Structure 1
Amino acid sequence: MTTRRSAAGDALTELVLPVFELNGEFLEAARDIAGPEGLTSAQWQVLGATLDEGLPVAEIARRVGLGLARQSVQRTADLLVERGWAEYDENPRHRRAKLLRPTAGGRAAVERLGAAQRSWADAVGAAVGAEQLQAAVATLLRVIDASRQVRGVVG
């Protein structure tokens, strides 16, 4: 016997593919914005997470989230250091977990990306409308919270 989903379950299922497609679109847009600067979208995310303070890789992975594993963030951080956009510094709280900090060149690169990101965000935002986008954010946050509650995940 096949059990059908509820109307709400069907609606949630219909949301999944467009959300995945939107994630892919955002990643492509990030590539378009970051590419001319020589950064990948992952490098931009990791570097951006360190603008206010140096962070250990594990903390960057937690903050950036979005499914990036600590090992992936570590490889990205190492590449940023290799290319001169970031550096490792001593961590007074942990001997082995160095802090990743942007270099002046890395900070300047992220600042240059800001103008392109603002232009893209303004154009896409104007095409959709602030009210619709705000409503979408509220809905997505409710879906995330509900999913975490059902899965028994805190936070």
Structure 2
Amino acid sequence: MSTRSSAGDALTDAVLPVFELNGELLAAARDISEPAGLTPAWWQVLGATLDQPLSVSDVARRVGLGLARQSVQRTADLLVEKGWATYGANPHHRRAKLLSPTDTGRATLERLRDAQHAWADAVGADVGEEALRAFVDTAQRIAEASRAYRAGQLSRPAGRSAPRARDSGR
């Protein structure tokens, strides 16, 4: 039976609070988006197109949360059906239409932005900017190290084999 290092124990201790944080962030996103008639996923997809029209594949890549192109396509179709977005011609690809917000979609995103800013300002003030910036740095370093480990780029402790490689889509 193998034992973990103290650094491995510390990382393992971080997992449950991060999962809890993920759930809380999703709940906050629901609280912010539902009054405007959107779901958090609809908000993500619509928001990704705010600065420039994007194809569904580009949205799936940009959102970067492991959303499959097919689920982004279903969401985009719903946004168009409900009048928050529209499809337009793509000069680079005849079949991959570009998704962009309608005036109604932009106005909805502005309302959500105001609510998100109020939430972020209150929560950020309570936690503190320095702690939040340190957390962001640490979370990014953990993600990078995990990706490197899964790609076989980090050395493994003696006697421990590498996990089987899987295509994570990233």
Q: Same fold (TM over 0.5)?
A: yes
Q: What amino acid is aligned across from residue 89 of structure 2 in structure 1?
A: E
How far is the alpha carbon of 1:54 from its aligned partner?
A: 0.5
In structure 2, C-alpha distance between the alignment counterparts of 1:109 and 1:37, rounded to whole Å: 7
Structure 1 residue 153, shift from structure 2 partner: 8.3
Aligned-pair distance for 1:3? Answer: 0.7
Give the gaps of 5 or more residues in structure 1: none
TM-score (norm 1): 0.96
TM-score (norm 2): 0.88
Q: Secondary structure at the match of 2:86?
A: strand
Matching of residue 115 in structure 1 with residue 114 in structure 2: yes
**8-17 or 34-43, which moves further after superposition?**
8-17
Cα distance in structure 2, aligned partners of 1:106 and 1:71:
21
User: Higher Cα Rg: structure 1 or 2?
Assistant: 2
Specify whether residues 153 and 36 from structure 1 end up closer, same or farther in structure 2 by C-alpha distance, changes over 3 A only: farther
Aligned to 1:41: 40
For the residue of structure 2 that corresponds to 1:87, the secondary structure is strand
Secondary structure in 1 matching 2:61: helix
Partner of 1:25: 24
| 1:52 aligned counterpart, secondary structure | coil
The aligned length equals 154
For residue 100 of structure 1, give the secondary structure of its aligned residue in structure 2: strand
> What percentage of residue pairs aligned between the two structures are identical?
68
Alignment of 1:111-150 (within 5 A): 111-150=110-149
Q: 1:93-112 counterparts in 2 under 5 A?
A: 93-112=92-111
Runs of 4+ deviating beyond 4 Å: none
- Alignment root-mean-square deviation, CA: 1.4
* Unaligned ranges ≥5, structure 2: 154-169
